[in-house]
Structure 1
Amino acid sequence: MATPTDGNDLVYAVALLAAGVVAVPLFKRLGLGAVLGYLCAGLTIGPFGLKLFSNPDSILHVAELGVVMFLFLIGIEMQPSRLWRMRKDIFGLGALQVSFCGSLLTMAGFTAGIPLTIAFIGSMGFVLSSTAIVMQILEEKGKAATAPGQRIISTLLLEDLSIVPLLAIVAFLSPFSSGEGFNWLNALIAVGAVASMVAAGIWLLNPLFAILASSGAREVMTAAALLVVLGAALLMELSGLSMAMGAFMAGVLLSESSFRHQLEIDIEPFRGILLGLFFMAVGMSLDIKLVLENWVLIATAALSCMFLKSLGVYLAARSFGINHREAFFRGALLTQGGEFAFVLYAAATAAGIFDARTAATLSATVIISMALTPVVLMLQQRIIKKSKVDLKDIDLPEELSNNILLIGFGRFGQMVSQPLLAKGYDLSIIETDAKLIRIASTFGVKVYYGDGTRLDVLQASGAKDASMILVCVTGTETTNKIVNLIKTEFPATKIFARAYDRGHALELVHAGVDYQIRETFESAMAFSKETLLELGVDAEEIDEIIADTRQRDNERFQIQMTAGIYAGNDLLRGNTPVPAPLVKPEREGQIFDQSDQDIVTPSNEQTVSPEATT
């Protein structure tokens, strides 16, 4: 960053924010996407634009934390069981694509007269697609959770992991290498760092977050989330591995944690801001002078590499059994080089494989390919034939078809969950009580930490894709807040809710829930039945009495709904005592429910008075 004069540091922060705020909405409105907006914003205010910043490398170094946090969030979605299910896509399709595209680009570069070593390193840098750009576009298009999206993410994971052996190859190919061969000490340090992270993830992190959650200090939870991400990245970097790999591993280790949703929410704002800053820094780094001096070479290199990589991605996908439409989309989306190319090229320059001009030319080629990706996608969408979609083309993962979100795991929620889990439904459970979460884990039930009254928590918990949301929390205000939030943000999702009493049940019906039940109603019916049995009443007569009670209760409920007296009524809320004696159900002219403390007089349905009991 340019050296600011005293007291003017804030000018640069304002300039960065203003550039992003102006450019991104404009580019999204034009259909070019947020990524291209950030890149152009950085180019505009950088050393080759308005010259507000003269040293974009300093910004890029800080902004790389956005990529680190992005990979953490990717990792936290990748439970070990899920990674195992995706092993074919990761180590099959991903490895095939990287090796095939790398060979194709290397041979093209060597044929063009580039030395083999430079052609190989330059090509492999271009092969590593931009995780940040691809994930951003997948999220914007709503494809991240689809089957093609998951296959693309699998490939990105393999590409991100490939940076580790590629950096090792750069060190081996370095003319400054001592030639002593494999460094066992560095390898042991790297293995020790990975083992330490795994141990911390298994035995340390969950108890730590449980203690912090029970303290109720939300800002400390946020600080702890940042500490985990940055600490893991630092540990991997110090051990000779990549920061990105450390963040991804930390995410995977916490993917089974009860606090994963809360961690996602805490990290997301930092990830978004820093990732935008990263793209702006990349835009600033584009050396316009170099591009203008060598525009034919760089333009030819960028377009040729993009075409060859897209072709390689398409052919690899087709050879793996993927249909034409998806393979074509993959080729357009993964056409660019990525942020790890800068890391690889910097390492090659430091190792003496590249000179500074070669590294700058290759970096400019990658940046241009990143900037052109939204344009390529627009062309792809126009070229591809828009065929009718039938059931076999639906890309939602199979488990989402029966996905149910249960909010609240108290005594009511626990009983609700048991039949659903026994039937094998995919049930996502969130709860704010850390003690309940720990107890549930001892019985093998996975409960996540999260506040259902917050939209970001609901989104992170899968509410958008849920077929049904069960609101089983305690407290009328909390339940109402959650129901209203769901109806506003996810209006098509079915809502089953727990009601406190009759008045609350009426409020929930008015709010538009699909099903509600008073928390004590069924247990009271069962209790009454057993009492009558003990008193010697005939079983058939008991069934008739219970059925009649249910019918009368339903009639009262419908009358009260029609009367509209449920909102804000102290008597219905249970705040006004109902005097004795109790009135028999047969008494003409009154409808009475002592258990819920509500009375309705049919002749005057808007009148609710304690005197009606006498």
Structure 2
Amino acid sequence: MAVEQDSHLLVSVVALLGAAVVAVPLFRRLGLGSVLGYLAAGLVIGPFGLGWFSDPKSILHVAELGVVMFLFVVGLEMRPSHLWHLRGQIFGLGTLQILACIAGLTGVGLAFGFSLVVAFIAAAGFVLTSTAIVMQLLAERGDIALPRGQKMVSILLFEDLLIVPLLAIVSLLAPRAAAETGTHWVGILVGIGSLAGLIAVGLWALNPLFALLAAARAREVMTAAALLVVLGSALLMEMGGLSMAMGAFIAGVLLSESTFRHQLEADVEPFRGLLLGLFFLAVGMALDLSVVAANWKLIAAVVPAMMAAKALCIYLVARLTHSSHAEALDRAVIMAQGGEFAFVLFGAAAITGIIDPGVSANLTAVVVLSMVLTPLVVLVMRRFARPEAEGMEGIDVAEGLSGSVLLIGFGRFGQVASQALLARGVDVSIIDTDIEMIRSAQEFGFKVYYGDGSRLDVLHASGADKARAIAVCVENAETATRIATLVRAEFSQARLLVRSFDRQHARELVGIGIDYQIRETFESALRFGEEALRQLDVSDEEAAEIAALIRSRDAERFAMELATGGLQAGKVLLYSNAAPAPLKPTPLSTPRRESEALNDLPQTESR
């Protein structure tokens, strides 16, 4: 009997993995995304498809650990200071969106003939957005760290907190609520105590624990400890009646400044991806096609009505809080579905007798269908919605600037380059064309104006004719060359400094007549190599001398390229007439002369 059970379990695991391996690559190749692939695979192999599984709810409960681990990884990326910075979005924007959506969705429920209590329960369940689906869609687009993604994450965190008061309201609405009021307060106090206990353990116990385990130098123990932290925090929150995902997120935030943060992320990542995929498979299995078939007219009308009402409320709240049309529409489409917490809320309402089991099944089918449809709606919006320029709310266009230095491009290079000027108190005017970056810079106290540095009228408006120096720090080599050519021809009074991308680009810039150029990776790589020598016990003086020699030799080679025509397109210039000799190992204790070592290197550096 035990052998048969083990064999059945193995068949189930193979079926789950096989469905994911077949469906997800196929759907991604079709441009439909991995989430829709998991959902479709779950529907096919579930009890209402091929019938390979009979209890999707048990799988769904285990698979929720994928959401838990996802939120733990997100928490590792959010330092407490950053989370505090988002407090207005979490509690302000989150509260406003929740209240507006509950009001709108309750109205939809009343319009379909539900009683006020049932309509409110349906609205409260549907308002709890699917954390798993939204986070996966944001991750696939790389938007989690961007301001628009951070707003959605903030709202999701608030919704995780909301499950506790909503469950308390369900209990209060139950027929026996009056006799159990004291129990409700006890549950709330237990939840608060669990949260306080988790924060205390995170602040004072987790870092010493990982330091002790790291000293043991047992990698598998560190992995076990990472899983213990994630699952333990989730269990503590669940015992307190709170969201498991919120517990894991808080644990991640408390460890975000730990020296073990990257190791923890690497340990949890494989489990996160596998369990999150299992979660989507289980959601697909949970779609009861028999309920849909028996009530298809009602469900077919309720699903789009609820999604449209929620999307409309989200859009209006976003616009009221000064989001652009494009950002508001994007948030409305992505967050228009119900979520996994709705299953918990509907189940509690059915147990307490507030709603009939049949109504609970219908509402559950509505939520599952909304989750299945969301990736498809997002795909349709992306493909068929008319591209629209991002709103310029809060963005100042370059006009009448007169700084001593005009800095064009405020990406990763420009941000670092500007720091020395700003620290010295130099009057710097900064322009860029990336609206999202400009808004992000404003949050950190930088004033960046919108302006295309390759246009002569914008350069005049940015004060290029008055600037003592113009620094071109854009992220594209062709754009940098175009701007440098224009500046050199029109604003000869200014010193012209340009970021170059490789040796060939540097030669082009020198040919234009710029005053200074530097290849973006050369100095950092040289400093890196110098420090590597010091880590190998080479003296500071010798390491600095070697770096200076390499820098000097590079300058000589570059001058030779300029004199002889240098690199041809697609070819590499060798600096020696003879073929380079192979690099010979030399003990660090008896280093050769630097010139001898350099002669052994193949001179093919092209950056």
Q: Give TM-score, length-normalised by structure 2.
A: 0.70
**Shift of residue 60, structure 1, vs aligned partner:** 1.1
Letter matched to residue 48 of structure 1: F
- CA distance in 2 between counterparts of 1:325 and 1:549 reads 50
Residues 344-374 of structure 1: per-residue CA shift (max 9 Å, x gap):
1112122222222111110100111111112
SS of alignment partner, residue 525 of structure 2? strand
**Shift of residue 263, structure 1, vs aligned partner:** 1.4
Look up the match of 1:76: 76
**Shift of residue 306, structure 1, vs aligned partner:** 0.6
**Shift of residue 200, structure 1, vs aligned partner:** 0.9
Look up the match of 1:37: 37
Letter matched to residue 525 of structure 2: A
Look up the match of 1:367: 368
Look up the match of 1:141: 141
**C-alpha distance 554-250 of structure 1, shift in aligned 2 (>3 A):** same
Residues 310-365 of structure 1: per-residue CA shift (max 9 Å, x gap):
11111111111111111111111111111111111112122222222111110100
Letter matched to residue 81 of structure 1: S
Look up the match of 1:195: 196
**C-alpha distance 236-405 of structure 1, shift in aligned 2 (>3 A):** farther
Residues 408-445 of structure 1: per-residue CA shift (max 9 Å, x gap):
xxxxxxxxxx999x999xxxxxxxxxxxxxxxxxxxxx
Alignment of 1:196-595 (within 5 A): 196-387=197-388, 401-402=411-412, 494=521, 496-497=524-525, 523-524=541-542, 562-563=575-576, 568-570=582-584, 573-574=586-587, 594=593
Letter matched to residue 241 of structure 2: G
Look up the match of 1:112: 112
* 8 Å CA contact retained: 1:175, 1:352: yes
Q: Which deviates more, 246-255 or 4-13? A: 4-13
* 8 Å CA contact retained: 1:110, 1:116: yes
**Shift of residue 53, structure 1, vs aligned partner:** 0.8
Look up the match of 1:532: none
SS of alignment partner, residue 355 of structure 2? coil
**C-alpha distance 341-569 of structure 1, shift in aligned 2 (>3 A):** same
Look up the match of 1:450: none
* 8 Å CA contact retained: 2:325, 2:390: no
Look up the match of 1:439: none
- CA distance in 2 between counterparts of 1:167 and 1:159 reads 12
SS of alignment partner, residue 129 of structure 2? coil
SS of alignment partner, residue 155 of structure 1? helix
**C-alpha distance 284-404 of structure 1, shift in aligned 2 (>3 A):** farther
- CA distance in 2 between counterparts of 1:337 and 1:594 reads 69
Letter matched to residue 166 of structure 2: L
- CA distance in 2 between counterparts of 1:206 and 1:518 reads 30
- CA distance in 2 between counterparts of 1:549 and 1:181 reads 78
* 8 Å CA contact retained: 1:76, 1:252: yes
* 8 Å CA contact retained: 2:171, 2:177: yes
Letter matched to residue 13 of structure 2: A
- CA distance in 2 between counterparts of 1:423 and 1:348 reads 64
Look up the match of 2:497: none
- CA distance in 1 between counterparts of 2:346 and 2:12 reads 28
**C-alpha distance 501-74 of structure 1, shift in aligned 2 (>3 A):** closer
Q: Give TM-score, length-normalised by structure 1.
A: 0.69
- CA distance in 2 between counterparts of 1:381 and 1:550 reads 49
**C-alpha distance 299-207 of structure 1, shift in aligned 2 (>3 A):** same
**C-alpha distance 527-285 of structure 1, shift in aligned 2 (>3 A):** closer
- CA distance in 1 between counterparts of 2:598 and 2:147 reads 55
* 8 Å CA contact retained: 1:225, 1:266: yes
**Shift of residue 557, structure 1, vs aligned partner:** 12
* 8 Å CA contact retained: 1:66, 1:272: yes
Letter matched to residue 324 of structure 1: H
Look up the match of 1:181: 181
SS of alignment partner, residue 375 of structure 1? helix
**Shift of residue 554, structure 1, vs aligned partner:** 7.0
SS of alignment partner, residue 120 of structure 1? helix
**Shift of residue 247, structure 1, vs aligned partner:** 1.5
SS of alignment partner, residue 187 of structure 1? helix
Letter matched to residue 91 of structure 2: F
**Shift of residue 208, structure 1, vs aligned partner:** 1.0
**C-alpha distance 547-172 of structure 1, shift in aligned 2 (>3 A):** closer
* 8 Å CA contact retained: 2:538, 2:588: no
Look up the match of 2:480: none
- CA distance in 1 between counterparts of 2:146 and 2:325 reads 17
- CA distance in 2 between counterparts of 1:596 and 1:125 reads 73
**C-alpha distance 387-191 of structure 1, shift in aligned 2 (>3 A):** closer
- CA distance in 2 between counterparts of 1:26 and 1:121 reads 38
| RMSD, aligned α-carbons | 4.1
Look up the match of 1:151: 151
Alignment of 1:117-128 (within 5 A): 117-128=117-128
SS of alignment partner, residue 562 of structure 1? coil
* 8 Å CA contact retained: 1:229, 1:247: yes
Q: Which deviates more, 86-95 or 37-46? A: 86-95
**Shift of residue 71, structure 1, vs aligned partner:** 2.0
SS of alignment partner, residue 70 of structure 1? helix
* 8 Å CA contact retained: 1:176, 1:352: no
**C-alpha distance 23-313 of structure 1, shift in aligned 2 (>3 A):** same
- CA distance in 1 between counterparts of 2:301 and 2:234 reads 36
- CA distance in 1 between counterparts of 2:311 and 2:549 reads 71
**C-alpha distance 404-15 of structure 1, shift in aligned 2 (>3 A):** farther
- CA distance in 1 between counterparts of 2:549 and 2:342 reads 75
SS of alignment partner, residue 570 of structure 1? coil
SS of alignment partner, residue 177 of structure 2? coil
- CA distance in 2 between counterparts of 1:526 and 1:31 reads 52
**C-alpha distance 518-402 of structure 1, shift in aligned 2 (>3 A):** farther
- The question of 1:17 aligning with 2:17 is answered yes
**C-alpha distance 354-494 of structure 1, shift in aligned 2 (>3 A):** farther
- CA distance in 2 between counterparts of 1:576 and 1:520 reads 8
Residues 555-589 of structure 1: per-residue CA shift (max 9 Å, x gap):
69999973498775225x447957xxxxxxxxxxx
- CA distance in 2 between counterparts of 1:78 and 1:423 reads 31
Look up the match of 1:91: 91
Residues 444-490 of structure 1: per-residue CA shift (max 9 Å, x gap):
xxxxxxxxxxxxxxxxxxxxxxx9xxxxxxxxxxxxxxxxxxxxxxx
Letter matched to residue 75 of structure 2: G
**C-alpha distance 499-566 of structure 1, shift in aligned 2 (>3 A):** farther
Residues 11-53 of structure 1: per-residue CA shift (max 9 Å, x gap):
1111000101111111112222111111110111111111111
**C-alpha distance 290-389 of structure 1, shift in aligned 2 (>3 A):** closer
* 8 Å CA contact retained: 1:152, 1:330: yes
- CA distance in 1 between counterparts of 2:56 and 2:263 reads 33
- CA distance in 1 between counterparts of 2:139 and 2:231 reads 24
**C-alpha distance 231-570 of structure 1, shift in aligned 2 (>3 A):** same
- CA distance in 2 between counterparts of 1:340 and 1:74 reads 19
* Structure 1: tracts of 5 or more residues without a match: 395-399, 407-417, 425-466, 468-491, 506-515, 529-545, 579-592, 607-614
SS of alignment partner, residue 575 of structure 2? helix
* 8 Å CA contact retained: 1:338, 1:370: yes
Residues 217-237 of structure 1: per-residue CA shift (max 9 Å, x gap):
221111111100111111111
Letter matched to residue 331 of structure 2: R
